[in-house]
A and B are shown apart, each in its own frame.
Chain A
């Protein structure tokens, strides 16, 4: 209950995190 399981990978230049970062 309340746990959120997720995988973490190294940030990639073409990944969604980089794309979102460019927007903010």
Chain B
């Protein structure tokens, strides 16, 4: 499920023979043969929503193979193949909430990687809430469904962001929740980029080591 079959990272070189500049999340999972950790999940969410927001993307995340972690810590969606996601009225335009839902599901699967069907990972409540809201699986309490309403506010003045959330409607909402997870919200872009940069670097290091062993 989720396209989590064997990945083939190939060599540490890119198509032109130079060093690789990006790894898919699927490659990362397969190389480590273990799930991502919570901090990496927060970071991939933040970084991916940042690039989706900038690109105004309209395709869903179908598997971990679609998520690219770049050397510089950026996280993007892989370009769509010509016939990808063409089943919805012959086009690939999805709403922002549908794309966020698909991202939440794939991030959860990355956290759940390798676990048996009858096992469940114990997530920290904030991360579980983020995924619940992204995947639209959160139980509505019926009393306050006004959404996140983060439209024009700065990232730095959302000290009580976590308490207000009842729905996520935009990439910005996800990013604000991820930022609110940190002690200093204004540090979110720098911090999460560093986490993703380290994820790339450590995975490449492991890949190089395993290649030498082989």
Q: How many chain B residues touch the partner (CB < 8 A)? A: 29
- Interface residues in A1-24 by Cβ distance below 8 A to B read 1-2, 4-12, 15-17, 19-20, 22-24
Task: Kindly count the residue-residue contacts between A and B in the assembled complex, taking CB atoms under 8 Å apart.
Answer: 64
Which residues from chain A contact B109 at a C-beta distance below 8 Å? Answer: 20
Please judge, given known A-B contacts A16-B137, A19-B137, A20-B135, whether A4 and B128 are in contact too, CB under 8 Å. Answer: no
Q: Is the CB of B128 within 8 A of A16?
A: yes
Q: Does B123 contact A (CB under 8 A)?
A: yes
- Which residues does B use to contact A, with CB under 8 Å? 1-2, 32, 34-38, 40, 101, 105, 108-109, 112, 115, 117-123, 128, 131-132, 135, 137, 202, 206
What 20 additional pairs, Cβ within 8 angstroms, besides A8-B119, A11-B119, A16-B132? A2-B32, A4-B35, A4-B36, A4-B37, A6-B122, A7-B122, A8-B121, A8-B122, A10-B118, A16-B120, A16-B128, A17-B112, A17-B120, A17-B121, A20-B112, A20-B135, A23-B101, A23-B135, A23-B137, A24-B105
Report, nearest first, the 6 A-B pairs whose CB atoms are least far apart. A4-B37, A19-B137, A7-B122, A11-B120, A17-B120, A20-B108
9 CB-based A-B contacts, threshold 8 Å: A4-B36, A8-B121, A10-B118, A16-B120, A16-B131, A16-B132, A17-B108, A19-B137, A20-B105
